[in-house]
Structure formats: C-alpha cells, structure tokens
Amino acid sequence: MQLLMEFKDLTRRFERDDYFLQASGSLSENETLAVRGPSGSGKSTLLKILARLLAPDTGNMFYKGEAYRQIPPQKWRREIQYLSQKPVVFAGSVQDNLRLPFNLNCSPPQINYSQDQASSYLEAVGLSTAILPQSASTLSGGEAARIALIRSLLVQPNILLLDEPTAYLDDSSAGQVINLLKTWLVEKDQRALVIVSHKQEDIKGFNQVKFLDL
C-alpha cells in the first residue's frame, strides 16, 4: 500500500495559552484515519491544518513523499479536499454549486464536470436530479451537506478530510452517505479518508480504520 500522507510533530497553539495541539500520523491508500478526542482537543483544527487552511506552528506534512511547502496550495487543496462541519453552499442553483470548482479551475485540466457522475452521486445519497435547478439558498442543512460532499467528489480528490460529515443527517441519509464514501474509498487506489465524527456508526462503516487520539 502506498503511503499517501504523513504528518510529523504538528503543533498549533490555541488562543488559550495553556493548551496546544500536537499530532503525528500517517495515511495509506484505501485507509480511514479516525481522529478522536474530547471537545476542544483540536480535532477540527487538525483537519484545517491538513487542508492548509491553518498553518502549523511547528512540524511538517508530506503528500506522496513531498513536503507540503514544496507543493502549491491550489494543487494541495484540489487533491486533498476538506469538508467543514457546517456545509458551505454558494449563490446560484444546486447545479451551479456542483459546477463551481470547474468554473474556478479548481480541478485538473483532464477532469471535466460530469452530469452523469453528479446524477449518480445524487441518487446514492437519496437526492433527486429534480433538485438541480433549485436555489442553493433554499436547501436544508442535510441537503446542503450532501451537495457539498458531491461537489468535492466530482473533482476526484485523493484524500477527503471530513469534519462530522453526517451531523445534519437523519440515520437513513447518514447511512447512504457512509455507503457512498465506502464505495468511493475502494473504487481506485490512492484514495484515503480522515474523519472526525461523534457517531460510532460512521466509523464502523469503514474497513482499514486506524485511530488518532488527541
């Protein structure tokens, strides 16, 4: 199995000077890394550092053996997609939201928007294609979370960083999302997941799980 990501001795001081995040770990292809810890331990902060949305105070990160400082941030964030706990949608229709990364050149030149793939993902998470012309501003929290996930999947990342991906979903929809992620993870080599979730059912859904306790 190829080692996709490694992070060593990452630290980040919180606003509380008496506490700071410290973490090391690695992720090979087709693996899931489940990050655990009490509230305030830095789980979301770690995901943001791995996504290069926050800079670590010390430590290093490697993607496919290359140090993060040697990789352009745009390329890093394209291949390592971060989904925040609160789903983000933008002005326009649902279709506009799914096409957005391609309009912003956030996907590799060889990857184009696929309506067939988008429709397949929508069906997998229990949403109809009839939602596509709907204004994204009218989506429920659960619908927005699923659209945000599909938008990330369409650019064909290698690693997904998921912060409470089923927080806005009922049990049925959560099960559909986890099943989609399980399928996505093993469809191709060089794919992996990092997940923060308070739902044990989410973690149990995956094979090759290892844990990082903060």
Task: List, in order of start, the domains of the chain with CATH numbers.
Answer: 3-213 (3.40.50.300)
Span 39-50, pLDDT tens digits: 888 999 999 999
137-146 b/e (C-beta count within 10 Å ≥ 16 → b): eebeebbbbb
What is the pLDDT confidence band of residue 78, given thresholds at 50, 70 and 90? very high
pLDDT of residue 106: 59
* Number of residues in the chain: 214
Measured CA angle at 108 (ends 103, 110), to 5 deg:
100
In angstroms and rounded to an integer, the radius of gyration of the C-alpha atoms of the chain is 17
165 vs 182: CA distance, rounded Å:
13
Span 181-211, pLDDT tens digits: 999 999 999 999 999 999 988 998 898 999 9
Decide: helix, strand or coil at residue 42: coil
pTM of the full predicted structure?
Answer: 0.94
31 vs 210: CA distance, rounded Å:
8
What is the pLDDT confidence band of residue 109, given thresholds at 50, 70 and 90? low
Instruction: Work out the angle between the directed axes of helices 171-187 and 115-124 (0-180°, nearest 10).
Output: 130
Q: Which residues contact 17 (CB under 8 A, 6 or more apart)?
A: none
pLDDT of residue 107: 58
130 vs 143: CA distance, rounded Å:
13
